Amino acid sequence: MGIDTANIDHPDDDGYPAHHALLAADVPVIENVANLEVLGSSPFLLLALPLNLQGTSGSPIRLVALAD
């Protein structure tokens, strides 16, 4: 699930219900996605390349879209 805001959950909800529901269904959460309008409606391959961090629940990523 990609979203163009900083948090998929409401900022005042510290229970993170959307995160828990999506991750329980094996759906990764990608926040702060930008510039999707340049892709248009053409098919593309999305690569999410996280940092190899230990002992964390998330990571900054390099998000790359490969389009024809």
pLDDT for residue 67 is more than 90: no
- Residues 22-66 have pLDDT tens digits of 999 999 999 999 988 888 888 999 999 999 999 988 889 999 999
pLDDT of residue 20: 95
In angstroms, the CA 39 to CA 18 distance is: 26
Encode the chain in three state secondary structure: CECCCCCCCCCCCCCCHHHHHHHHCCCCCECCCCCHHHHCCCCEEEEEEECCCCCCCCCCEEEEEEEC
Phi, psi of 44, rounded to the nearest 5 degrees: -150, 160
